């Protein structure tokens, strides 16, 4: 595996002549390397500035930066909920759609 740390610096999206040789070489590695067992890890804090050709050949993406602004959604903490005691539902009292919506909105 070849790791390209701060890849936006030497394989930029823009057609800068200064980086033409490194960009051409790395694009060739990313296109042809799999045939020879070579993989490329592209690391960048600015992925929008990295060559489109390189990203077109990538099949996995890992994003380490938190989004800004962060989403306001919350997931159920499944592990904690599974540990709770069983809850009996009162079958005599019908649940309306409004009841369900109120619970969802909590």
pLDDT tens track for 50-68 = 888 887 887 777 777 777 7
**pLDDT value of position 26:** 86
d(C-alpha 50, C-alpha 27), whole Å: 11
pLDDT tens figures, 64-99 = 777 778 777 777 777 888 888 877 777 777 778 888
Report yes or no: 8 and 49 within 8 Å, Cβ to Cβ. Answer: yes
Report yes or no: 26 and 4 within 8 Å, Cβ to Cβ. Answer: yes
Report yes or no: 2 and 40 within 8 Å, Cβ to Cβ. Answer: yes
Query: Could you give phi then psi for residue 47, rounded to 5 degrees?
Result: -60, -25
């Amino acid at each position: 595996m070849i790791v390209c740390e701060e890849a936006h610096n030497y394989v930029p999206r823009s057609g800068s002549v200064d980086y033409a040789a490194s960009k051409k070489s790395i694009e060739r590695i990313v296109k042809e390397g799999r045939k020879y067992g070579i993989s490329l890890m592209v690391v960048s804090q600015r992925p929008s500035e990295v060559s489109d050709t390189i990203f077109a050949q990538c099949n996995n993406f890992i994003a380490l930066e938190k989004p800004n602004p962060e989403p306001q959604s919350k997931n159920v903490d499944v592990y904690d909920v599974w540990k709770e005691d069983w809850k009996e539902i009162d079958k005599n009292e019908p649940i309306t759609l409004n009841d369900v919506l109120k619970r969802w909105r909590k």
